Amino acid sequence: DQQVKQNSPSLSVQEGRISILNCDYTNSMFDYFLWYKKYPAEGPTFLISISSIKDKNEDGRFTVFLNKSAKHLSLHIVPSQPGDSAVYFCAATMADRGSTLGRLYFGRGTQLTVWP
Amino acid sequence: KAGVTQTPRYLIKTRGQQVTLSCSPISGHRSVSWYQQTPGQGLQFLFEYFSETQRNKGNFPGRFSGRQFSNSRSEMNVSTLELGDSALYLCASSPQTSGVFTSTDTQYFGPGTRLTVL
């Protein structure tokens, strides 16, 4: 049962434009969301996260938006650069595990390609 | 600070064999989680260890097991390997949180161990 879904397996964007990656979740208990970037033969690298008490978090070129009522989040990359080409994973968790992040539920990823 | 390290990086085994993978977390991190990544299923959670105790377990058969040592290093073991166990096995470590997650709370991933079962 996929509780976190990334329905677009791929996205192609021109350099300098905005990339928007989408993610939907089904479990209303999720209260913390993360985005990771992954290159081939490497482990995922943390990009940005958002708590359910917020609807937006920004870090440089990366902004994550959370719409709790729609159970939807999105990652905006502005401006996109060729080095951003990678697989992007959305992940979610819930704070009932006490003092650790515990289990992350991942989407299946979106391959972003930024072309010059 | 050194990152999460995993050994070996690549492994080839045959069906029926068993395998042990190792993970050294970032210094000071007491939580270690393991994930399996396959093309069809994405990243699937295996288990989490915290202070040598398994805190959470994913939906994998009993052939998959793990443990954590007092220095927080962790191992996972897969017995009676099947072809479908071919995957990238990722380990992630994280520090203890305050219980309320903030924007700096994340799991830090190692490079993974690529297991091929023939």
Q: By three-state DSSP, how is residue B15 classified?
A: coil
Task: Answer yes or no: do B107 and A89 touch at CB < 8 A.
Answer: no
Per residue in B37-82, pLDDT (tens digit) is 998 778 999 999 999 999 889 999 999 999 999 999 999 999 999 9
Q: For residues B118 and B109, what is the distance between their CA atoms, to the nearest angstrom?
A: 27
pLDDT at position A96, please? 64
- The tokens describing B2, both together, are 């050194």
Stretch A74-101: mean pLDDT: 90
pLDDT at A2: 86
Cα–Cα distance measured from residue B111 to residue B10, given in angstroms and rounded to the nearest whole number: 11
Q: Any idea which residue has 């290159």 for tokens? A: A39
Q: Is the pLDDT of residue A51 over 80?
A: yes
Chain B hits for A106, Cβ within 8 Å: 35, 42-44
Tokens 């299923």 — which residue?
B41
- Which pLDDT band, with edges at 50, 70 and 90, does A94 fall under? confident
Half-sphere exposure of B26 (CA within 13 A, CB side): 17
Tens of pLDDT, residue by residue over A6-33, are 999 999 999 999 999 999 999 999 999 9
Nearest to A101 among B58, B107, B109 (CB): B107
- Residues 6+ positions from B34 with CB-CB distance below 8 Å: B23, B45, B46, B47, B48, B66, B74, B76, B89, B90, B91, B92
User: Between chains, do B94 and A100 touch, taking CB under 8 Å as contact?
Assistant: yes
Q: Check residue A20 and give its pLDDT.
A: 98
pLDDT at A97 over 90: no
Identify the residue with better confidence: B101 or B91: B91
Q: Which residues of B touch A107 (CB under 8 A)?
A: 42
Q: Which residue of A has its CA nearest to B103?
A: A49
